Amino acid sequence: MSEIDKPFFAANWKMHLGPAETSEFVRRFRELHPPRERGRVVFFPPTLSVAAFRTAAEGRPDLEVGVQDVHQDAAGAHTGSVSAVMAAQAGAVWALAGHSERRREFGDGDGLVTAKVSRLLEAGVRPILCVGETLEERENGRLDEVLARQIGAVLDAVDAAELVYAYEPVWAIGTGRTASPDDAANAHGIVRREIEAHGGFAAAPILYGGSVKPANIEELLAAPGVDGVLVGGASLEPDSFAAICAAG
């Protein structure tokens, strides 16, 4: 991981944009966003749209692709799931792990997230570890403790230098409510401290996620310690995500 990774723009499409819509998105996005000399642009479409993404992005190696989730086992009788190895075979270079929607809706706790990160690394897929506190945790003064627990669980098991990190306060996801640049800088400082406590890799990018949009990208990227963004809703339209990727 190096300066070349910054700024790091990531699009989490969640359960939006099937294969046909993905092809159309990429066709338009290629026109709007020429390759840049530095930084990264990574997309997380639904797993079923990864192949369509790759076909549509042919000739544009700067537009990278990943999956939003994998199963914690390498293979087995797990109806409906895909493994890290399959994701790699399908061309996924990146994967999200520990997204708050997975933690809340599917019970992805720290142990499961750690297992998924381990499988991803074994398969040669680069995880983006997502962490963040709920509103209740924040209001109870538990920000520090929650981030330390979520990061510590994973970094006790894997090399801190292998990961990219995303701080996504749960109360800012899909709510239109964005962390202030000061809040983001403070939380990124805690994430950085935990990374360094587990092996001290100072250059690992830390992304901010939660209601990022063209109107707030500049101030968020300018916040100390914010190396990029992980964007949900505002990444679903090529124009809006291209405007975000033009920043920094």
The residue range among 20-28, 50-58, 197-205, 226-234 that interacts with ligand 13P, by the rule CB under 6 A, is 226-234
Q: Which residues are catalytic?
A: 99, 168
Whether residue 128 contacts residue 163, with contact meaning beta carbons closer than 8 Å, is answered with yes
Does residue number 12 form part of the binding site for ligand 13P (CB under 6 A)?
A: yes
Does residue number 244 form part of the binding site for ligand 13P (CB under 6 A)?
A: no
The closest alpha carbon to 128, from 89, 103, 98, 101, belongs to 98
β partners of residue 166: 130, 207
The residue range among 120-128, 137-145, 205-213, 220-228 that interacts with ligand 13P, by the rule CB under 6 A, is 205-213
Which listed residue (207, 231, 245, 247) binds ligand 13P by CB under 6 A? Answer: 231
Whether residue 153 contacts residue 111, with contact meaning beta carbons closer than 8 Å, is answered with yes
Which listed residue (46, 98, 181, 209) binds ligand 13P by CB under 6 A? Answer: 209
Does residue number 210 form part of the binding site for ligand 13P (CB under 6 A)?
A: yes
Total residues contacting ligand 13P by CB under 6 A comes to 14
Q: Which residues make Cβ contacts (< 8 Å) with residue 100, sequence separation at least 6?
A: 130, 132, 168, 170, 173
The residue range among 49-57, 71-79, 190-198, 207-215 that interacts with ligand 13P, by the rule CB under 6 A, is 207-215
Site for ligand 13P in 130-169 (CB under 6 A): 168
The closest alpha carbon to 94, from 228, 240, 226, belongs to 228
| Smallest distance from ligand 13P to CB 58, Å | 26
Does residue number 7 form part of the binding site for ligand 13P (CB under 6 A)?
A: no
Q: Which residues make Cβ contacts (< 8 Å) with residue 183, sequence separation at least 6?
A: 169
8 phi and psi, to 5 degrees?
-110, 115
CA atoms of 33 and 36, how far apart (whole Å): 8
Q: Residue 80 class from Cβ within 10 Å (0-12 exposed, 13-18 middle, 19+ buried)?
A: exposed
Contact characters 169-188, ligand 13P, x per CB under 6 A: ----xx--------------
Summarize as ranges the residues that interact with ligand 13P (CB under 6 A).
12, 99, 168, 173-174, 209-212, 230-234
